[in-house]
Amino acid sequence: MTIDWWTLAIQAINVLILIWLLARFLWRPLEASIEARRKAAEATLKEAEAMRAEAAAGLAEIDATRARFAEERAAGLAEAKMAAEALRTDILSKAAEEAEAQKALARTALAREAEETRAAWAKAAAQLAVDIARKLLAHLDERALREAFLGSLTRELAQLPEAARRSLGANGAALTAVSATPLDSTEKERCRALLGEAIGHPPHLAFATDPGLIAGLELKGPHVIVANSWRADLETIRAEIGHDRSR
């Protein structure tokens, strides 16, 4: 086999030219394109990293906003709970006050009703006593009854201090003997004489009639009244009964 060195040399030169052409017109643009793509990829990666960081910051802000909303919600719920509890306490307090006020009104109404009932019973009892006294009086000797009350009046006057007795009718002061029924002239003279003995001097005595006494004889002066009648006795009894009921 014969080697053609010229052909081999030419082929080698062709290969070298081809390599040079490839290196100049293919490899360098390809390398530049690869470098451009690498730089674009790096830029894309940097942009993606920036976007990832921005997204992470956004997520952190969202988490912070959620946490703030949760805190505000918790604070709002706590405040609403406190307000509801305060409103509940206020409502209960007002309800208790209203209930106590209603109880007080009820107690006042019951006390007033009881007092009115006691007063009505006392009035009815007093009226019944007056009716009984008048019926009893119808069966008694009025003259003897007036004589009895005259004796009772002189005994009451005798029990007064001496200075008080002597002051009755002193210096011309008028005294009035009040009876339930009119006295005749004899009774008036006896009344004047016995009262003069009781007070220690003849009185300037006038006479009057008051059927409301029912029965009795009372002595009235400018500054004194000696009650001596069934009316006075009934009033005393009624007052004592009312006092006993009120205790």
Q: Which of 141-145, 164-168, 229-233 has the highest mean pLDDT?
A: 229-233
Residues 6+ apart with CB under 8 A from 232: 213, 216, 218
Task: Indicate the range of 26-30, 84-88, 98-102, 217-221 predicted with least confidence.
Answer: 26-30
Structure confidence at residue 144 (pLDDT): 76
47-68: string of b/e by CB count within 10 Å (b at 16+)? eeeeeeeeeeeeeeeeeeeeee
Pairwise pLDDT comparison (103 vs 238), residue with the higher score: 103
Pairwise pLDDT comparison (97 vs 144), residue with the higher score: 97
Pairwise pLDDT comparison (49 vs 210), residue with the higher score: 210
State how beta strands 174-179 and 204-209 pair: parallel
Nearest one of 160, 142, 147 to 188, comparing CA atoms: 147
Residue 183 tokens, joined: 């006295």
Structure confidence at residue 244 (pLDDT): 54
The pLDDT of 40-61, averaged and rounded, is: 80
pLDDT at 223 over 80: no
Confidence class of residue 27 from pLDDT cuts 50, 70 and 90?
Answer: low
In whole angstroms, give the CA distance from residue 162 to residue 167.
9
Q: Does 3.30.2320 match the CATH number of domain 140-246?
A: yes
Structure confidence at residue 229 (pLDDT): 78
The pLDDT of 166-188, averaged and rounded, is: 82
pLDDT at 133 over 70: no
* Percent over 70 (pLDDT), the chain: 81
Nearest one of 218, 232, 236, 223 to 154, comparing CA atoms: 218
Structure confidence at residue 226 (pLDDT): 81
The pLDDT mean for the chain works out to 77
Q: How far is CA 192 from CA 169, 183, 195, in A?
A: 12, 12, 5
Crossing angle of helices 185-199 and 142-158, in 10° steps, is: 10
Q: Are 126 and 234 in contact (CB under 8 A)?
A: yes
- pLDDT single digits (tens) 103-125: 888 888 888 887 877 777 766 76
User: Does this model's pTM top 0.75?
Assistant: no
Q: Are 218 and 153 in contact (CB under 8 A)?
A: yes
Pairwise pLDDT comparison (126 vs 45), residue with the higher score: 45
State how beta strands 217-220 and 225-226 pair: antiparallel
Give the number of other Cβ atoms within 10 Å of residue 11's Cβ: 11
Structure confidence at residue 116 (pLDDT): 79
Give the residue extent of every domain in the chain: 55-139, 140-246
Structure confidence at residue 105 (pLDDT): 83
Q: Are 179 and 216 in contact (CB under 8 A)?
A: yes
Confidence class of residue 136 from pLDDT cuts 50, 70 and 90?
Answer: low
Task: Indicate the range of 15-24, 109-118, 190-199 predicted with least confidence.
Answer: 15-24
180-218: string of b/e by CB count within 10 Å (b at 16+)? beebeeebbeebbebbeebbeeebebeeeeeeebbbbbb
